[in-house]
Structure 1
Amino acid sequence: MAVSATILVLIIALHLIAFVFAVGAERRRSQAQVFPDEYDDRTFCVYTTDASTIYGLAAVALLLLSHCVLNAVTRCLCCGKGLVSGCSATFAVVSFILSWISFLGAEACLLAGSARNAYHTRYRGYFGGNHLSCATLRKGVFAAGAALTLFSMLASILYYWAHSKADTGFWEKHRNEGLGLTTQHHPHQGSDFDNKA
Structure 2
Amino acid sequence: MASKLLLITVFILDVIAFGLAVAAEQRRSKGWVVTDNEKNYDYCQYGSDIATGYGVGAFLFLMLSQVLIMIASRCFCCGKPLSPGGSRAWAVVLFIVCWVFFLIAEVCLLAGSVRNAYHTKYRTMFSIDNPPSCETVRKGVFAAGAAFVFFTAIVSEFYYVCYSSARDRFQPYGGGETGVGMGTYK
| Maintained 8 Å contact 1:91/1:162 | yes
Equivalent residue, structure 2, for 1:195 = none
Equivalent residue, structure 1, for 2:172 = 174
Q: Which amino acid aligns with 1:61?
A: L
- Compute the TM-score of the two structures, normalised by the length of structure 1: 0.87
| Maintained 8 Å contact 2:115/2:137 | yes
| Cα displacement string for residues 55-94 of structure 1 (whole angstroms, at most 9, x for unaligned residues) | 0000000000000000000000111222112111110000
**SS at the partner of 1:103?**
helix
Q: Which amino acid aligns with 2:48?
A: T
The answer to which structure has the higher helix fraction is: 1
| Maintained 8 Å contact 2:44/2:132 | no
Equivalent residue, structure 1, for 2:21 = 22
Q: Which has more radius of gyration?
A: 1
CA distance in 2, matches of 1:58, 1:81: 34
**Structure 2: stretches of 5+ with no match in the other structure:** none
Number of residues paired by the alignment?
Answer: 185
**SS at the partner of 1:151?**
helix
Equivalent residue, structure 1, for 2:5 = 6
Displacement after TM superposition at 1:39 (Å): 4.3
Displacement after TM superposition at 1:38 (Å): 2.4
CA distance in 2, matches of 1:78, 1:183: 30
Percent identical pairs in the alignment equals 44
Q: Which amino acid aligns with 2:59?
A: V
| Cα displacement string for residues 94-120 of structure 1 (whole angstroms, at most 9, x for unaligned residues) | 000011000000000000000000010
**SS at the partner of 1:10?**
helix
- Compute the TM-score of the two structures, normalised by the length of structure 2: 0.92
Equivalent residue, structure 1, for 2:48 = 49
Q: Which amino acid aligns with 2:160?
A: Y
Displacement after TM superposition at 1:6 (Å): 0.3
Displacement after TM superposition at 1:53 (Å): 0.2
